[in-house]
Structure formats: C-alpha cells, structure tokens
Structure 1
C-alpha cells in the first residue's frame, strides 16, 4: 500500500512539472545556486556538480526533468553557444603573439597526435571513419583550468607556459572545424563537401575580419554606453550562429569564431564581465545539467565494452598529450619540469570537448556509450590536470623580471615633484573623508604637492533640476570641510566641484584631466544582484581609469600606522608596485614595511633562498631609500598564511587582480577577495589599469597623483 502511495505521489509530481514550467525552472535555479558551492568546498569543479545534478534529476535518477521540454532545450542550446563563445573570448591572443611560431608548433603536436590516437581508438572499437575522426578531434582541444595556479606561482611568463596558452587557439579552432566537416559529411556528397569547405573558409574570414571591424566601430561610436555594447556582443554571437546554420555547419563553430573576433574589442572591461556573468550564472550551468540528463548509468553495467572504451579513451588522451609535450621538449629544448607542465596544462577537456561531443551525439555520429565515456574523461582530466600542475609548476623557474621603465617616486627631487604631482581627494562619502584626506596629506608631504578635494554632483539632462541643486549644496559643504582639514594639515589645497552624469565617470574624467597617476577611493561593498550584474563605482573606475586605483578601508587614522605588510604573489616588478605606495606612507610615519611572499609548503630550501634573493634584487631596483624587510613563508594556504602574519601589522597593501576564467566562465575564488573579507586591520587594495604598459607605480604617467 505504501509503495502504491509513493508511485501515485511521484506521478502527481511529474504532472505538476509537466503542466507548470515555472516549477522545474525554480528547481534549476536552486541547483545552480547550491550545488556548485557544495562541490567547490570539497575541491571539485563546479561543473562536475552540475553534471551530477543532471544525472540525479534525469532518467537515471528521479526522472524529474526531460530534455524534450522546448524551454529546457532552448536554454540548453543557448548555454551550448555561450560556452563555446566564452571559450573563444577567453583565448589569450597576446600570449599567442608573444611566441607565435612555437605556439603553432605545440598546437600542431597537440592537435595531430591526439587526433590520430582518438581515430585509432574509434576504429579499434568498430566505429566508421567519420565517427572515429570526430572522436580523435575531441582529444585535441584543452582548457587552461590551472591558469590561476600558475599565476599564483608567478610562472605565467615562463616560455613553456606561454606557448601552451597560445596553442589553445590552434587546437580549439582545429577541433571545431573537424566537427563541422564530419557532421556535414553525413548529409552531403564529396562534391558538396568541397563546396562546403570553401564556404567555411569564406565564412570564417567574414566573421574574424568583419565582426572585428564592426565591433571596433560600434564600440567607438557607443562611447560609455555599456548596455548597447553588451547587446551588440550578444547579437554578434547569435547572428554568427544563424549564419553558420545557413551555410550548413554547426552553430558552435560560429560562436567560437565570434569569441575570437571580438576578443580584443571587448578586452578586459565591464562589458566582458557582464557578458561572462550572464552566461556563467544561468545558461552555461543549465547546459551542464542538460548534459547530465543524457548520461545513462545503466550502459556502464551492460558489459565490459563501455568500461573498456572509457579506459582506452582516458589512457589514449593522457598518453597522446604526453607525447605532444615530449616532442615540444625535444624540438624547443625545454627541461623536464617545463615539459611536464605543458603536459598537465593540456590535459583538462571541458568547454570545446563538451560542446563537440554533444553535437556529435545529437547528429547521430557518436553513440550514447561515447558520450558517457567522454563525460568521464572530462571529469577525470579536469581534476587531474590542475592537481598535476600544482605539483609540477612549483619547480618552474620564476617569470623574468620586467625592468622599471621610469624612476620611482623616492628618486624624484622635491623641486621636480612640486610641478609634477597633484593629489585629488574624493569627498563624496563623509564617513571616509577624514582618513582619505590624511592619506593625501601624507603623500603630499612626501612629494611636495598640492591637494585637490574633488566632489561630484550627478545630474540628468536638466541643469535646473531640484535634485541637482541639492547635490551641489551637499557637495559644496563637503568640499568646504575637506579644504579646512587639508589646510590644517599644512598642505596646499585647491577644491574642485564637478557636474557629471555618473559618480564613477566623474572621478575617472577628473583624474585624467588632472593628469593623475593614482586614484584612491574609500571602501564600497558590492551587494545584491544588480551590483553583480552592473558593477559598482569602484569597478567602473577600475575599468575606465588611465592609472592605478587604490581602494582603502581604514579602521584608524593613517598617521598611526607603524607596521605595513605587502604580500606579493608574483615575483615581477609590476607586482611590487604596492611596495612603493607602502614605502611612501612608511617614510611619512617613520614606519616599517615588510614584503611577504608565500610559497608552496613543498618548496625546497634552495628554492626559497633563490626566491628571497630574486625578491631582494627586484626591491633594490625600485631605488627605495629605506629598503623593506623581506619575508618568505612556506605554507599550503596562501590566504591563511597572510592572515596569520597580518595580526602584527596596522596596514596590509594588497594587489587587486581579477581572476581569469578559462573554464567557460565558472569563476575561481581569489586570494585578495578572501583576505578583504577576513582582515581586521586597515587595507589598501591597489588595482592596475587594464590598458596600460607595464611600469612602476606612479611613474606610468609621471605628472600627478590623484587620491580619491
């Protein structure tokens, strides 16, 4: 009787899900919100949890979702297009150009050898040539899931790493083009195939050249309208997808090519952040869940055939990638550590492999057994690759240091800095105004410069609006207070009131007009969905400013700061720019600066000594009159090591960097973000502008300093 009741309850639930599409959508949102968090806590990729959720909720589990649903299919298709588009958008074209020939060489090895291996495996298991070649192409592409690990170790500029990063453009394009030809060959004859290849080449040129030109023109004419830029990018993606289907190729090929075409147009800015955000929080997770619905666990227990196929696919992929890296070692004279790093970096198969596998399954080229085997391959390689990289890359030689391009502040004479520096202080927030003015005064005394208190009165189209008048009166009061405080600190002061359509834009424009070389802002917390989607004032200033931006959270007067901690992750000159800012504050207060580098616990004592010598050499090149103390700690958790060390300090100066999302937009947590939440002392987060060449702090534009 109880069994009958359970069956009836399940049938009733299924009827509700079929009649009310809003119910499964609500369940989807719960899964997307909760499951990735749980899996990341056990150190598994978020997409693994989403695929697992699809298995549990699909025919192999509770059977709550069905892929035949038109709404679900539409959202999944959008996620598929988005996933491949973001893969193209995340390709590092600059890295590719740095080592173009070697990137093409390694890309060729990484494409041909795995493709041949996969094709042979397909033929061994009785698949036709078309299906076998498609299986081989699935082996070719890879995703840089371990990029944050390399960035933390400071070895991103190592040539072997740069070559591996650059090679992704070749392997991904090659894999998708093979997919397009294989799928088309099942529907057309040999003569039409030649015609299709000609159309494909023409189509690719139109997308890569035409969309790049159109994007540059549109972005130039749109000015600061981020909404229109965002819509243009989305329109370009789906127009390319429609165009691909119109000439008879898969839409994901067009999506990837558009990602490459608008790669440099979008750049690292708020538009890219919004594009990736929309896909990563909704459409791409739905695609992963839909993929999980297709997995049939019962096929693994029908015999040894599926398990044998999975074993051969996994071993074939790992072996072929190893051979490709070994060839690169022999030809380009890399050492074993570099060769193993290239191998581990090229193992993870995620976005392009997933998308191509699903397309092959839907078109009938790949059976369900291959789909299941490739999903297992993706789960294993996405876990194994980063794990191996974290073990191997520790021993890689550090990135080459970049020489300072201009003298540091401490080297400049007072008579030079008097006309060269202007310190701009934002007085928009009364709660942070006093301490910001004090910091400006400390810097002004060091550089013999003037302070310009800045207030932004925001306005719409009407200059006689009552809201503008109220904003002007408030700004004038804040300016008067800031001017009085600045003069009481013995600093020359020239207040500035600006009317602008937005607070952040007003700061960036005023700083540029004043020829600023540093912007300092008070703490602004990001809250709510709107803030995540549209950013906040700090984000906007970071993206649009021409100079470094220091975001401050001061718990006490800057005049009381006696001990300053500056953690550095990458041992390069640009990462030491926070040291210069800390040293300026320290000299004003007769304080002590400590530069801290946290290395992996497995790092040998000789490697630690080498890091210390390297760091000492870089710091000495900054030309500081009182060199800071250098400390290196071996610890398994960077954030925890810094938190423990920070207990003895009044101020921590952190580099503010945005994470690179190589796995289709699923973000990885940042050390700086974690520290900002947990540190109890004063904090300054120094963010670098997105479109400026490397150089030392406050010397990139050697005219002024702006503290906002």
Structure 2
C-alpha cells in the first residue's frame, strides 16, 4: 500500500477530493497554521475562520477534502476533547456549589427553545406532532464550540461558565434521551425493557466514572510519578473509556467525555505540566480539525434550491437564537448576573453543531424529518456558530476587564501583581513537592520566576558545591518549563544559612518564602528553638510557608485552615488567604476554616471566594488540639501562626506545630507565618481587605 501511495504522488495523481493521507494532513495543517493568524489580524475569532475554511475545502465547497472516516475520527476526537477540557477546567467547587443553578439554567435552556419551537414547527411550518417535537427538541441542544475562547481568555472559572457547562450536560442528556424515546416509539420498541436498560446503564455509568475512575487515576499518578508521557496517554485512555461506556449506555460519547473531565478534575492541577500538554494537543490539533469538520458538513448551496429551504432555514435559526437568548436573560435575572455574564451564557449556549446534527440526521434517516429540515439545520449550524463566537469573545473581553477592576485577585492589590516566590532548599534530594506548591500558588499575572535558593557553606568546597547544587535542581526547572512556568536557580555562599536565606529574600524582594519542615528525630518544638528554622522565622520579614509534604498535593481531599483570633488584622492576612484560594482552585478542593467568627466574616465578605469555604467556628485556644476532631484522613492541614508580639499571637501557637506533627505525622502540613511588615504603598491601598491593617499598626516586640 505504501508503494502505491508513493507511486500515485510521484505520477502527479492529485485528483480531488484528495485521498492521500500525507496531502490530506498537509492541507489540514496549512489551514490550522494560516487561518487563526489571518482572522486575528482582522479581529475576528479564529473559530469562524476554521469553520469557513471547512466549508471551502469540504465536499460542498471546492471538494478538496472528503468527509470520510478519517475526518470523522478527528471530528469525534475534537468534540470529545472540547467536552473533556470543559470538565477539566471547570471550577469544581463552583460547579458543586451552584449545581442547583445549573439545573435551573438547564431547565430554561431546554424549555424556552422547546416551547417556542414546537408551535412554530407545528403551526407555522406545518409539520406533524412527532417531527415538530423532535425538531423543537433540537433547538434545546447546543455544543460548546466557543469554549476555547473562554479558556484562552482565562475566564473559565467564572460562575456563569460553571452553570452554563453544567446546564449543557443536563439539557443535552435530556434531548438525547428524548431522541432515543422518539426513535424507539417510531420503531415500536418503546416498552418496559427500554426504560430498565436506560436507568440501569445510567447508574452503572455513574458508579464507574465517578467512583472507580478517580481512585484508579490517583493510584496511577502516584505509582507512575516520574513518567510524564504515560500520564498523558493514561488521560486519553480514560477519556475514550468514558466515551465508550456512555455509548454502551445509550448516551452520546460527549456525555462520557465531560464526565471523564469531571472525574479527573481534582487530580490534574490547572497549572501543571500535564494540563499544559492536554491543552497543547487539543488547541493545536484536535479541536481545530473538529471545527474544520463542522464547516465541511455545511452546504451553503441549499439556499439556492428554492424559497422553501431558505424560509425553513431562517425560521429555524431565528427560533434557536431567540430561545437561547431568553434562557440567558431569565438566568441573568434569576441569579443577578451582569450583562457580560449573560452574554457569556448566551454565547456559549447558542451554537448548534454535533448534538444538533446527530438528532437531525437520526430523525432524517428514520423517516421522521424531511430534507427541508435537514438542509435548514445545516444553515442554522453555520449561522449560530458565527453568532456564538462573536458573542462569546465580546462578553469574555468585558468580563476580563470587570474582574481586573474589582475581583479578589493579585491584580487588585497593587505591587503584589509582581509577586516573587522564593523556595529555600537545604538538600536538593529532599525537594519533594515544594516546587509543585510554589507553582500552584504563584500568581499567573506576575512575570517574576519562582526562584529555587540554595545556600552553600562558605568553605573550600563552596564552588564545587554550587555546581553540584545547580545540577541537581535542573530536573525541577525542566518540569516547570513543561508547564510553561518560569523557574530560576539562585545559589549563594554564606557562613550562616539563615542569614543567606534572609539576605537573598531581601535582595530579590521576595514576597513569599517556602521552606521544608525540619527533619531529625527530635520533636518539632525542640527543632524550632534555636535552630536554623527558628533563626529564619525571627529574622525574615516575609510571608513564610514551612511545609511537610510527603504526598502529592493531588492526593488531598480537603484543605483545613486553622487560624488564631484576630488573624484578619495581621499584615499578611490577604496574602495567605489569596494563596489558600489559589491552591483550592487549582486542586479543586473545598476549604474548611477553623477560626474565630470575625475572621470568618472577613473571609466570607471577599468577592468570588466564599463558595470555596466551609466555616466551623473555633475559639477554644486553651485546648487547641480539640480542633483535631474536624481533621480527616486525606486533609491538607494549614496552620496560620504568628510572630511573638503581634496582634494574633497567643502562647498556644508555640506548641501547636509539635502536637500536630505527633497526632498527624503522615498528613501534608503547612505552617504559615504571615508577613510582619507591609510596604507603605499597600497600607494606603484603597482595598477593603487592608482596612483593619491601618487600625492595628504595631511593631514587633
């Protein structure tokens, strides 16, 4: 076969449509390479360009490519990849907290198009009950064609996105079930056996995907920790296993793909190298080819076949857009969303592609729908994909500007948008998960790299030790580069290691210093009294994180934060709170806060973060270990301590770390010492979280 293909190319056999796999792939790559850049220059979404390119090269255009099994495979992979990515990038805490809102939006986006579409198809277009109902149900579906725009612009964690994606699954599942019911009724197979099979398959699917697969994935990531390529192949394997299981249960594979994303959501941090690989392959290859394949099914010439086709197409398109806009409008009013959030909901939910086409083709092949509906749906797909892309891009831009002005982000905190994180490493062999933590909590808007610091004793071996130290840290730098994160290595010579850490932190203007938990056989309290860590704590005027991380952070199921009374009055309160929020979002973990009600009220008042937290009042600092009853297996324990002489310092904090280590020796633990001083520019910042700091200015004793 290879010889025949080579001969056909050599003899100039370039008959259209192209069938040689090399030429087919070459044309696809040329489109993916050129079209996005071209449309970016004219300020239009690249999605529109890829769909139009598909129309031109497809069987209804210049017939350069055929819509054969190869294109169908890429199209299926691309659509599943979009749904899988949507499940992965979904803010799981937001999704769970707002699942009722997703149900309400799903109800709106299902019922409004159906209620508008049925009477129009029945009485305006003149179809019978079953064709009218099936066509009207098609209006309720939508495909997240414009989701890559949301992902690229960094607003995928907004609550409006969470309920739209959740509502998409609810409404698409409902419509696809309706399709199965109608086709079964048309074939005379709608009986008790049909309903039993449907319900049992849904239950088994949910058990496998949401209970068994997360446990399997957690085990695999821990056992095959260093093989990054196997991680990506494993993720693809899970994606298609879930798609296949959905098919076995009588559902569309896209439902399985989204469920796979949800199942792996907590196990793949959004700033990890694995997530970067998933995004890279999807955005570079699979998703663009899917969009091209959408264009290839559009036959623009159907509008020339007669006025009836054109009228049906326009009616279908207007009904589809009107129904989705009304659903977005009532969702906005119900949940008090902004106009830009309404625009995002409408933009994401207004595009019709795969599910819509599947319903219409199945109905057409079953003899329920005629060619006018089929051709009109093709035009509907083209128009709605264009409208969806434009609406989503416009709304996403507005939302980005709104969030930068008002939300609880580093950008709103002045100089902290330039934050600098320093990871102090005593022994490169024991670096553990310190770098992972730094990359997870790093502000993505800061251009500064994460710095790995090694302080080498000033002796005759100093230069040789510096070289060895840098070589051993190169692997961490390479892992960070794979995640497109900036990491550099700093090595310095000093007679005293704490002095070297403190000096370098000041020289680099670091905001956060991360260190490992002290080792050795003696207790933590004895280690902290008079050793290197204690000297660093006393001398360092930065936010200090002392970490015991012996398990991957993805193995944790919750974050438990313990803070003393008046913690909200400390200078560094805003920093550690922001980092807890960032860590929880990256790992999709809930946060349980044990602390004073006043501290909890301050946290709850912050915009866009309260859904992450479960508040448990805790004030018994005469017996601080009574908080242990709230700590479970798999919790990441974060204790917010304080420096002596500061407003939130209490004596019990001195012994607390030792007791935590004794009681929970195998839990991941982090002690946070908030920053002692705050730059004057931040003291004057007009931000609500700094208001208490202006009142409680105090110097350490």
Smaller-chain TM-score range? Answer: 0.5 to 0.7
Please tell me whether residue 453 in structure 1 is matched to residue 454 in structure 2.
yes
Aligned to 2:165: 168
TM-score, normalised relative to structure 2: 0.55
Aligned to 2:441: none
Q: 1:215 to 1:291 in 2, by over 3 A?
A: same
Aligned to 1:45: 45
Q: 1:512 to 1:244 in 2, by over 3 A?
A: farther
SS where residue 62 of structure 2 aligns? coil
Matches within 5 A, 1:91-490: 91-123=90-122, 124-126=124-126, 129=130, 132-133=133-134, 135-141=136-142, 143=144, 162=159, 165-183=162-180, 185-186=182-183, 189-191=189-191, 192-206=193-207, 207-268=209-270, 269-328=272-331, 334=336, 338=337, 340-349=339-348, 353-365=352-364, 367-387=374-394, 453=454, 472=468, 482-484=491-493
SS where residue 61 of structure 1 aligns? coil
Runs of 5+ consecutive residues of structure 2 not aligned to the other structure: 1-8, 365-372, 417-421, 429-451, 457-463, 475-488, 505-512, 520-532, 546-578, 587-605, 611-674
CA distance in 2, matches of 1:488, 1:473: 17
Aligned to 1:22: 22
CA distance in 2, matches of 1:512, 1:367: 69
CA distance in 1, matches of 2:77, 2:585: 37
Aligned to 2:61: 61
SS where residue 205 of structure 1 aligns? helix
Please tell me whether residue 33 in structure 1 is matched to residue 29 in structure 2.
no
Q: 2:357·2:377 contact (CA, 8 Å) conserved in 1?
A: no
Q: 1:341·1:389 contact (CA, 8 Å) conserved in 2?
A: yes
**1:419-463 Cα shifts (integer Å, max 9, x gaps):** xx9856999xxxxxxxxxxxxxxxxxxxxxxx96258xxxxxxxx
CA distance in 1, matches of 2:286, 2:238: 17
Q: 1:362 to 1:213 in 2, by over 3 A?
A: farther
Q: 1:135 to 1:593 in 2, by over 3 A?
A: same
Q: 1:224 to 1:546 in 2, by over 3 A?
A: farther
Q: 2:361·2:374 contact (CA, 8 Å) conserved in 1?
A: no
Q: 1:208·1:261 contact (CA, 8 Å) conserved in 2?
A: yes
CA distance in 2, matches of 1:284, 1:267: 21
CA distance in 2, matches of 1:167, 1:317: 17
Q: 1:311 to 1:170 in 2, by over 3 A?
A: same
Q: 1:40 to 1:402 in 2, by over 3 A?
A: closer
Q: 1:65 to 1:426 in 2, by over 3 A?
A: farther
1:362 Cα deviation after fit = 4.6
Q: 1:470 to 1:86 in 2, by over 3 A?
A: same
Aligned residues: 475
Matches within 5 A, 1:541-556: none
CA distance in 1, matches of 2:319, 2:164: 20
Q: 1:107·1:168 contact (CA, 8 Å) conserved in 2?
A: no
SS where residue 49 of structure 1 aligns? helix
Q: 2:408·2:607 contact (CA, 8 Å) conserved in 1?
A: yes
SS where residue 63 of structure 1 aligns? coil
Q: 1:93·1:166 contact (CA, 8 Å) conserved in 2?
A: no
Q: 1:471 to 1:348 in 2, by over 3 A?
A: same
1:481 Cα deviation after fit = 11
1:371 Cα deviation after fit = 2.3
1:275 Cα deviation after fit = 1.9
**1:145-183 Cα shifts (integer Å, max 9, x gaps):** 6998899999x99xxx62563243133232134225415
CA distance in 2, matches of 1:76, 1:166: 26
1:382 Cα deviation after fit = 2.1
**1:649-702 Cα shifts (integer Å, max 9, x gaps):** xxxxxxxxxxxxxxxxxxxxxxxxxxxxxxxxxxxxxxxxxxxxxxxxxxxxxx
SS where residue 65 of structure 1 aligns? coil
Q: 2:424·2:515 contact (CA, 8 Å) conserved in 1?
A: no
CA distance in 2, matches of 1:50, 1:260: 28
SS where residue 85 of structure 1 aligns? helix
1:620 Cα deviation after fit = 4.9
Aligned to 1:703: none
Q: 1:84·1:256 contact (CA, 8 Å) conserved in 2?
A: yes
Q: 1:110·1:324 contact (CA, 8 Å) conserved in 2?
A: yes
1:347 Cα deviation after fit = 1.3
CA distance in 1, matches of 2:353, 2:490: 60
Q: 1:381 to 1:223 in 2, by over 3 A?
A: same
When structure 1 is superposed on structure 2, of 278-287 and 210-219 the one drifting more is 210-219
Q: 1:326 to 1:546 in 2, by over 3 A?
A: closer
**1:598-633 Cα shifts (integer Å, max 9, x gaps):** xxxxxxxxxxxxxxx98444455566999xxxxxxx
CA distance in 2, matches of 1:354, 1:343: 21
Q: 1:131·1:182 contact (CA, 8 Å) conserved in 2?
A: no
CA distance in 2, matches of 1:331, 1:390: 23
CA distance in 2, matches of 1:130, 1:246: 27
CA distance in 2, matches of 1:517, 1:397: 24
SS where residue 453 of structure 1 aligns? strand
**1:70-97 Cα shifts (integer Å, max 9, x gaps):** 3333222222322332233333322123
1:200 Cα deviation after fit = 4.0
Q: 2:210·2:263 contact (CA, 8 Å) conserved in 1?
A: yes
Q: 1:247 to 1:105 in 2, by over 3 A?
A: closer
1:39 Cα deviation after fit = 1.3
Q: 1:74 to 1:318 in 2, by over 3 A?
A: closer
1:38 Cα deviation after fit = 1.4
Matches within 5 A, 1:564-579: none
Q: 1:489 to 1:223 in 2, by over 3 A?
A: closer
Aligned to 2:77: 78
Q: 2:54·2:294 contact (CA, 8 Å) conserved in 1?
A: yes
Q: 1:84·1:355 contact (CA, 8 Å) conserved in 2?
A: no
CA distance in 2, matches of 1:117, 1:492: 71
**1:442-494 Cα shifts (integer Å, max 9, x gaps):** xxxxxxxxx96258xxxxxxxxxxxx999639769x9x99544x579994469
1:130 Cα deviation after fit = 5.6
Q: 1:244·1:250 contact (CA, 8 Å) conserved in 2?
A: yes
Q: 1:328 to 1:177 in 2, by over 3 A?
A: closer
Runs of 5+ consecutive residues of structure 1 not aligned to the other structure: 1-8, 410-420, 428-450, 456-467, 497-506, 520-541, 550-569, 575-582, 596-612, 627-708
CA distance in 1, matches of 2:212, 2:384: 37
